Structure 1
Amino acid sequence: MRGQSRQSTSAATDRVLHPNEAQLAILVGVSPAIAAIREEIRMIADADASVLITGPSGSGKDVVAQKLHQKSRRAARPFVAINCAAIPAELMESELFGHEQGAFTGAVKARAGRFETAHGGTLFLDEVGDMPAAMQAKLLRTLETRVIERVGGMLPILVDVRVVAATSVDLQAAIAAGRFRADLLYRLDVIHIDMPPLQDRPEDVPLLVEHFLAQRQQNVRFTPAAMAALAAWPWPGNVRELRNFVERASIHHSGGIIGRESLGRLLTSSRRLPEPRAVAVVTVAPAPQALPSGLGPDGIDLRQVLADVECAYIREALAISGGTIARTARLLGLQRTTLIEKMRRFDIEARAT
């Protein structure tokens, strides 16, 4: 059924990833929250219980869903995603359950729905909190019986699907307002994963920036001061906003180095650029004094000045990376062995605490 046509109203984000087409989902981050989510995925991957992923818009709930599928015993079967907020209410039943030829105007041939397409794999219901009330009852019945009927059809179809749902809506508040069924929430929320906003895990920002730059294959680098400022930025649009920012920065500074002074023109928010905040505590010696403003009549020790600049950037990069040598080397554009040699020469020790 892979070749069957789709309704033109389906959202562009809806997708069917077959094993030979899917890219490996990467959950980027070193924060305790991301480490806990990785461990949770490892523990529940092979269970068939439904999973509800909550968190603000743009925080990466879809990545968690894909990662959960790829770690599960269902990884060899399709991962099918549908954005419940993007499908008109009158087409939602056909999208999920399919339809028979002639079931309604425009149904010129039979079509499998998302449940059938995901048979043996995972069905990801994104923004399930926006699902129309009538469909909530039908979804609940399907989750309880694992049986569907196509629109206009009479034959029951047994489906073997693990359902993973995600929402940025407060479902308890939606239940209180009469917009969401409590019994459906209980059926979906067997296992709960909460995705934190990006501003609650600033230590993940440098890794995410590097990841997005690598995806774009752009030779763009941020100075340590710029990276520290990005880690301090609130990112109201979360990881999605950061990804768009990296794309914009790589277009405006293709092949260049981006300093803190350039960030104000690249960030779209009207907020003032915050002062850098530490994202890790690193036990290193005090930073060198400020560089001289000019040559002066007595000249300068150029070797010492350049050494001070080098030393200062190494210390700043170590602070951003939490003392991780590999990440520090990437921030500075150095080979790992070169960085270690320079740290030895400057008597720098980095131990994240």
Structure 2
Amino acid sequence: MEAPLTLRRPANWQDFETLCKKLWGEIWNCPETKKNGRTGQEQQGVDVYGIPFGEDRYYGVQCKGKDEYTHKQFTKAEIIEEIEKAQKFQPALKKLYFATTAVKDAGIEEFIRTKNLENITKGLFEIHIFAWEDIVDLIDENRQTHDWYVKSQNFKSNKNVKITFQDGLTELVLNPKYKKTITNYKQKIVPELPYGDPLNFFYRQQQNLYATPLILSAPSYVTKVNFSYCKLYFQVHNIGLDPIEEFKLFFNFEGEVVDLKDTNIEHNRLSIIAPFISDVTLWRDNMSGKVNPKRTILVGDDSFSSDDFFIKTAPKEYEILVNWKLVSKDLKDDGTLKIVVKPDFEIMHDDVLVEDPLKANKIVEGDFEDVIIDED
């Protein structure tokens, strides 16, 4: 992922606090990261707090909007004041970060390093500072915050791409169809032979058999559609400024995939199929594939849609992750899409008469089968 040409500072201090909450929540891998209290309340030098993953103590962030808002720099007096306030935060902090929209200042950074060692010597929390240039680096290193902030600020980088399923979806719900037969075996009542002589009975049965005319059916031209396979295709959206050239999209599935095919239509031997070369190559041995577009250039604000292909999932409700990687002349990017599988089940019941009493009065539930329907 390439960094944007420039990242504007948030428009106000409230937006800056929101950015810090989002950013450090991702850095800490802590979805419980929160803003401290509400506007006007005493915050003990902490605007955002949370417990990073794997830690057992709180970390805090003090957000200081500077420069573009007040045209001022962060001062040593402010730092000392906020450190003293943060000592009252309960439970006690392990680390305190100063996040500021001010530009980097070597003198302030040296002062922070000194105060950090003083606090550590006293057994208090560590102290660190991130100026706006540092925060931009952190935004670029944390994808979720980057994508959220770029979208919220309506930025465009020189080269940027978005990969989706059909209709621009990043999460797709599939409804494959499956059927199951439940067979109820019942006792068959065998009547007595209608003729006293068994040989005479079988003779008459043979006569009836040969009397039945033989009907020859015409060859079938029916096309069958397998609705247990669901359609997929990818869309590549150029959301940057420059063209994306000579791009290819590789993908693989993380989760149970039964099969991949170019089509869900099953033709009989007499069908005439027009030749078609898909831009999607499927590797069924490891359930992955590649999109090799016929178009070699995708200009800004334009989109490309791959040819359709079909996926067969297991007959159950679950999720599949689709990992993708785009490579091109000047851009590489990767990401993940999600498939939510919610099958439609058709349950059929069948009564079977059996003469053997040992096989009667049993209910047998069959396996799930594909739903294949003749197409007119």
On whether the aligned pair clears a TM of 0.5, the verdict is no
Of the two, which has the highest radius of gyration? 2
- Structure with more contact order per residue of length (Cα contacts < 8 Å, sep ≥ 6): 2
> TM-score, normalized by length of structure 1?
0.34
Richer in helix (by share):
1
